[in-house]
Amino acid sequence: MIAAIRSELTRLRQPRLLLAWFGLMALFAMLVNTIMVTFVSGGGSLPPGAPGVAFPTLAEMESPSGLMAGLAAASNMFGIVSLSLCAVATADDYSSGLVRLLVAAEPRRWPLLAGKVVALVIVTAGATTVAAIVNVFAVLPAAQAAGISTVAWGTNILTVVALAWSNLFMALCVWGVLGLVIAVLARSAAVAISIGVGYVLVVESLVKMVKDAPSDWLLGTTLGAVASGGTATIPYTTAIALAFAYVILGLVLAGAVFIRRDVTD
């Protein structure tokens, strides 16, 4: 599997792909922090079911974890970026015909798929780091300008940053794996992105708007809870367990299809 990981990492060193991935993470980190600080300091609140973001209260913002609150707030946006770019990186193998060459070189398809997953997880770690760094540099001046107290942000700073990073990283890994799974099934980046984005922005939002509909198990909600370290409705451990179940289910499905399906692309 090491061979497959090294091979995938070499292929992922595409300047445009990495620029798009890291650039979008940085852009969303900056945007969400700016908007979040303005919103929180103005005492605003989002309507229930608003897609993609979940802002903290002023008290939460002024607590030690307020420094990294932007990561959790924008986790679903970051998630869509991860899903999309993992889908592109996977579907490109089909659209270019490269999958033929890869399977001919390594006919054991499980290591090939696992190598791609691990390589994408490594790049996701890089993307999470970019988001975390930009978050810190964006939130500090924005908070000071908006009059939000940042006194508590120095407390346990390493723990706060590490926890926020690892929570977002776990959530993005799940998003990325799901992008890969949809791309393997659809063999098309456009279809995979449409399904992923359509689900989060339309399907999940609609389900949340329906009163009494059980929405705690939904993908975006679950991964938002993972990125936030748990929420009032979904405990952290439940969110992690659900996310793990999503990943296992997705990988088993993608693995079964990838292994059994003819490579005719």
Partner 1 sequence: MPVVTTSELTRTFGPVTALDGLTVELPSAGVIGLVGPNGSGKSTLIRILLGLIRPTAGSAAVLGSSVRGPAAYAARVGVLIESPAFVSALSARANLTSLAHLRRVPLERVEVVLGQTGLAGRDREPVKRFSLGMKQRLGIAAALLSDPELLILDEPTNGLDPAGIVEVRELLRDLGRNGRTVIVSSHQLSEIEAVCDHLVVIRFGKLVFSGPMAEVMKRTREHIDVAPELLADLPRLEAGLTDGGWSVNGMDGILRIVANAERAADLNRAATAMGITLRALVVGQDNLEEIFLEMTGRVDGELAEGRAIANGKVA
User: What is the number of alpha carbons within 13 Å of residue 238 lying toward its C-beta?
Assistant: 14
**Is the CB of residue 227 less than 8 Å from the CB of residue 53?**
no
121 or 263, CB closer to partner 1?
263
Q: Which stretch binds partner 1 (CB under 8 A): 2-10, 23-31, 177-185, 242-250?
A: 2-10
Q: Give me the least distance between CB of 192 and partner 1, in Å please.
A: 18
Cα angle at 159 between 79 and 82, to 5 degrees? 10
14 binds partner 1 (CB under 8 A): yes
**Is the CB of residue 177 less than 8 Å from the CB of residue 245?**
no
**Alpha carbons 111 and 209: distance in angstroms, whole number:** 42
256 binds partner 1 (CB under 8 A): no
Q: Write the burial class of residue 150 (CB in 10 Å: 0-12 exposed, 13-18 middle, 19+ buried).
A: middle
191 binds partner 1 (CB under 8 A): no
16 or 211, CB closer to partner 1?
16
106 or 185, CB closer to partner 1?
106
20 or 35, CB closer to partner 1?
20
Q: Write the burial class of residue 45 (CB in 10 Å: 0-12 exposed, 13-18 middle, 19+ buried).
A: exposed
Tell the residue number behind the tokens 């970026």, with chain if given: 81
Touching partner 1, residues 95-154 (CB under 8 A): 96-108
Q: Sketch the per residue contact string, 79 through 98, with partner 1: x for CB under 8 A, - otherwise.
A: -------------x---xxx
| DSSP three-state, residue 108 | coil
**Is the CB of residue 65 less than 8 Å from the CB of residue 168?**
no
11 binds partner 1 (CB under 8 A): yes
Q: Sketch the per residue contact string, 15 through 34, with partner 1: x for CB under 8 A, - otherwise.
A: xxx-----------------
Q: What is the largest CA-CA distance in the chain?
A: 61
**Alpha carbons 68 and 206: distance in angstroms, whole number:** 29
17 or 203, CB closer to partner 1?
17
Under rule CB under 8 A, how many of the chain's residues touch partner 1?
29
Q: Give me the least distance between CB of 116 and partner 1, in Å please.
A: 11
Which member of 6, 44, 159, 198 binds partner 1 (CB under 8 A)?
6
Task: Name the amino acid, one letter, at 250.
Answer: G
212 binds partner 1 (CB under 8 A): no
92 or 208, CB closer to partner 1?
92
Alpha carbon 53 to chain centroid distance?
13
For binding to partner 1 (CB under 8 A), which residues are involved? 3-4, 6-8, 10-11, 13-17, 92, 96-108, 262-264
